[in-house]
Amino acid sequence: MKILFAASEIYPLIKTGGLADVAYGLPRALSDMDNDVCLLLPAYASVLAQVEHTCQLGTLDIWGDGRTHQVTILAAQHEAFAGTLWLAECAALFERPGNPYLQPDGTDWPDNAERFCVFARAVAVLAADQLALNWKPDVVHVHDWQTGLVPALLEDLPERPRCVFTIHNLAYGGHFSRELFERLHLSEHWWSSEGMEFYGGFSMLKAGIVYADAVTTVSPTYAQEICTPAFGYGLEGLLRSRAWKLSGILNGVDEVAWNPAHDPYLPHYFSAEAIQPGKTQNKQALLDQFGLGADDEASAQPLLGFVGRLVEQKGIDLILQAIPELLAHTAARFILIGSGVAHYEQWMNQLAAQHPERVAVYIGYNEALAHLLEAGCDLFMMPSRFEPCGLNQMYSLKYGTLPVVYHTGGLADTVVNATDENIAAGTANGFVFYRPDAQALSGTIHWALQHYADKNHWQQLQRNAMRADFGWQRSARAYLRVYSAVH
């Protein structure tokens, strides 16, 4: 099958969250299964700085916000990609430093509607082979609001390719005004409550849901949750009415990058068959790196970790509320890595300053530290209020770092609670709570620490966790079934 795969971030070129990991891992698995996959990404400044031997395939005149842009399509080479990688280059829209969606002060780039409308138009032109590259996809697979206009743009084409739209996070809707709708020259027949109109403006995410041939999201539980008011952001009715084309496919993880048996970021290797001494040696290295004491005494105490974007979704505030009580009543230590909302960053720094022997934080994005934390901790805290899939709990499972999670989305689909039944069945791999508040989190951590005290039992839970199969092959096969069904 020929698949055009367009996204606004792709690891390792540009990443703000799990979407980038998916846009790397899924196409690679699809290519390995003999599909012809072509990746398309905006040519952000930092992306251009990383690729080599770009060659110009052609230039398109594309209408934006009251002006026409020249968009050059580049074929690029990069060691991470064996297959075709195309970049949509438009200096005025994409060649700026930093985050692809946010200005340095943390607010949205004011021209985001224009940027991603122009990108979507470039995707549609290439999907129709209007640049005469002699490559016409059978399926176009696009992701999140940034590419939500693509299914609408393809709708009117004769002999159009089929279009699959994946929702990675319904919380980001790509909402813009009626004035922008007009200035972008979006077609009037899309302006209705049955189309992309949304509360007087328009939503690029809604456009994707309405006009795609199939809509997927990144876990089966989240596919059900988004059909309810609590998770639907006002789109639950629409999603329910489109249930016939909506499905949930759990993400995979990159099993080369995330494998404790040969992860280059780790000072010591380990596996389900030989967890020790490697796991404890990594714990000592992690404690040492964060100045929490690397002696046997320190490494005998439970170590709890967190990595993630510091936003309300991730429940970082629940962790920060629970920590003082846990410090008072247990011997646990905490290491937290993340960046995001300034208020959470300050709160984290404050806790670390108050408890320098037992709490350490790193504010920022750091791939190496994230790997070491996954390897060195005993428990990984992921009390997300909602989680479309979540990758970190899967990394934790693979690294024998038992996750403590709220029962939602992909967390509910991957973490099997350590109940007596699940322990007896040999499936238990973590600790689950059912109310998204700090008390439930802290109560569950106390309960997990009781399990931790029994070393043999703990190792069995770790082995259960480490043996889980989260390879991309299984997800890729499920996506191929969706592609075939719409084709």
Q: Where do contacts with ligand GLC occur on this chain (CB under 6 A)?
A: 17-19, 22, 168-169, 218, 251, 387-391, 410
Compare residues 169 and 221 and give the one whose CB is closer to ligand GLC: 169
Strand ranges across the sheet with 379-382: 359-363, 333-340, 303-310, 379-382, 402-406, 431-433
Q: Which is nearer to ligand GLC, 226 or 348 (CB)?
A: 226
Looking only at the bridges linking them, the beta strands covering 68-77 and 52-63 are antiparallel
Q: Which residue is nearest to ligand GLC (CB)?
A: 18
- Is the Cβ–Cβ distance between 395 and 374 less than 8 Å? yes
Cα–Cα distance list, 199 to 175, 193, 462 (Å):
9, 9, 48
- Nearest distance from residue 482's CB to ligand ADP, in Å? 20
CA distance to 59, 112, 149, per residue, from 65 (Å): 19, 10, 15
**Nearest to residue 476, comparing CAs of 8, 27, 145, 4?**
27
Phi, psi (deg, nearest 5) at residue 167: -95, 115
CA distances from 134 to 126, 129, 419 (A): 10, 7, 57
17 or 58: CB nearest ligand GLC: 17
- According to DSSP, the residues that pair with 432 across neighbouring strands are 405
The residue with its CB nearest to ligand ADP is 18
- Least CB distance to ligand GLC at residue 410 (A): 6
CB of 18 to ligand ADP, least distance (A): 2
Least distance in Å: CB of 390 to ligand ADP?
4
Q: Cβ neighbours of residue 165 under 8 Å, at least 6 residues apart?
A: 142, 143, 147, 148, 150, 151, 208, 209, 212, 214, 215, 216
352 binds, options ligand GLC, ligand ADP, none, Cβ within 5 to 8 A by partner type: none
- The pair of structure tokens assigned to 255 is 């099993």
Tokens of 167: 């929702």
Of 168 and 333, nearer to ligand GLC (C-beta) is 168
Q: Which lies closer to ligand ADP via its Cβ, residue 167 or residue 391?
A: 391
Between 206 and 283, CB nearer to ligand GLC: 206
**Which CB atom, from 351 or from 389, has the smaller least distance to ligand GLC?**
389
- The minimum distance between CB 18 and ligand GLC, in angstroms, equals 3
- Which of ligand GLC, ligand ADP, none has residue 218 at its interface (CB below 5 to 8 Å by kind)? ligand GLC
At 304, list the tokens.
């709890």
DSSP of 413-466, one letter per residue? HHPPB--HHHHHHT---BEEESS-SHHHHHHHHHHHHHHHTSHHHHHHHHHHHH
Per partner kind, with CB cut-offs from 5 to 8 A, the member of ligand GLC, ligand ADP, none near residue 473 is none
| Alpha-helix runs per DSSP H in 189-341 | 204-211, 220-225, 229-232, 236-241, 278-289, 296-300, 316-329
Q: Could you tell which of ligand ADP, ligand GLC, none binds residue 371, using a CB distance below 5 to 8 A set by kind?
A: none
For the CB of residue 258, give the shortest distance to ligand GLC in the complex, in Å.
13
Least distance CB 190 / ligand GLC (angstroms)? 26
Of 27 and 308, nearer to ligand ADP (C-beta) is 308
Q: Select 378 or 387, whichever has its Cβ closest to ligand GLC.
A: 387
Shortest separation between residue 219's beta carbon and ligand ADP, angstroms: 10
- Residues engaged in binding ligand ADP (CB under 6 A): 17-18, 21, 307-309, 337-339, 365-367, 370, 389-392
- State the binding partner of 370 from ligand ADP, ligand GLC, none, CB within 5 to 8 A by kind: ligand ADP
Strands (E), 11-115: 36-42, 52-63, 68-77, 84-89
Q: Of 180, 129, 132, whose CA–CA distance to 2 is shortest?
A: 129
Please check whether residue 377 is in contact with residue 299, taking contact to mean a CB–CB distance below 8 angstroms: no
How far apart are the C-alpha atoms of 189 and 382, rounded to whole Å? Answer: 43
Measured from the CB atom, the residue of 20 and 238 that comes closer to ligand GLC is: 20
357 binds, among ligand ADP, ligand GLC, none (CB under 5 to 8 A by kind): none
Closest separation in Å from C-beta 445 to ligand GLC: 22
Q: Show the tokens assigned to 441.
A: 């989190």
| Cβ at position 22, least distance to ligand GLC in Å | 5
